[in-house]
Chain A
Amino acid sequence: GAGVSQTPSNKVTEKGKYVELRCDPISGHTALYWYRQSLGQGPEFLIYFQGTGAADDSGLPNDRFFAVRPEGSVSTLKIQRTERGDSAVYLCASSLLGGQEAFFGQGTRLTVV
């Protein structure tokens, strides 16, 4: 596609449920990033993929969060046992190579009720 695509755009889930957020990066981009943005804050880094492997997952807050990119393209961010504090906009970005200009998707707004 022309840009980074994230689905769904909005997700409301009940506390304790499992959710998956999907990111389709720009075709050919080897680097993919997940960020989380709370209201009134800048995006916070979660995880970075170079190809299929997670090169840096130091931003994942705890073991309820997990992300995969099995074929080096689409990525899925998975959150288990969601908590109200997980409510935020989850942003995905991709770049041709790591360390270069990153292009962001429009985000998925997750609301845990």
Chain B
Amino acid sequence: GESVGLHLPTLSVQEGDNSIINCAYSNSASDYFIWYKQESGKGPQFIIDIRSNMDKRQGQRVTVLLNKTVKHLSLQIAATQPGDSAVYFCAENTGTASKLTFGTGTRLQVTL
């Protein structure tokens, strides 16, 4: 199948370690942010979202941090597993049109 993100930045982590994936967004008016996971040959899969009135949100093994001052978003994955290997995209909701603007993505490789 098609390989997503052949030339993307890559983060390699050992199984069991924590992963931190970073994203800089451009539009200070964006008020909704989402992290997606995309495996090769598949569509993006929702992981976690956060609205601009929050700076932190936790899910199962994942935490999203939002720093609006520097327009920075991060995804933390605890106890990274081989199944977490994929390309991760941050996306921002721009204005009222409900469309998402995606970042360039980061490939996460989990080594055993």
Contact = CB atoms under 8 A, between A and B. Distances in A.
Do the two chains bind?
Answer: yes
B43 A45 contact: no
Interface string B4-25: 1111100000000000000000
Contacts of B42: 106-107
Contacts of A31: 98
A99 B32 CA distance: 8
B86 interface: no
A43 interface: yes
B97 A55 contact: yes
A98 interface: yes
30 contacts: A31-B98, A33-B98, A33-B100, A39-B3, A39-B4, A39-B6, A40-B7, A42-B89, A42-B103, A42-B104, A43-B102, A48-B97, A48-B98, A55-B97, A55-B98, A56-B97, A56-B98, A58-B97, A59-B99, A89-B2, A95-B98, A99-B93, A99-B98, A101-B49, A102-B100, A104-B36, A104-B44, A105-B43, A106-B41, A106-B43
A44 B102 contact: yes
B46 A101 contact: yes
A105 B46 CA distance: 12
B35 to A, nearest CB: 11
A41 B98 contact: no
Nearest to B3: A39
A109 B2 contact: yes
B27 interface: no
Interface in B44-67: 44-46, 49
Contacts of A45: 99-101
B43 A56 contact: no
Contacts of B110: none
Contact of A39 (B2, B36, B101): B2
B98 A40 contact: no
Nearest to A99: B98
A6 B5 CA distance: 21
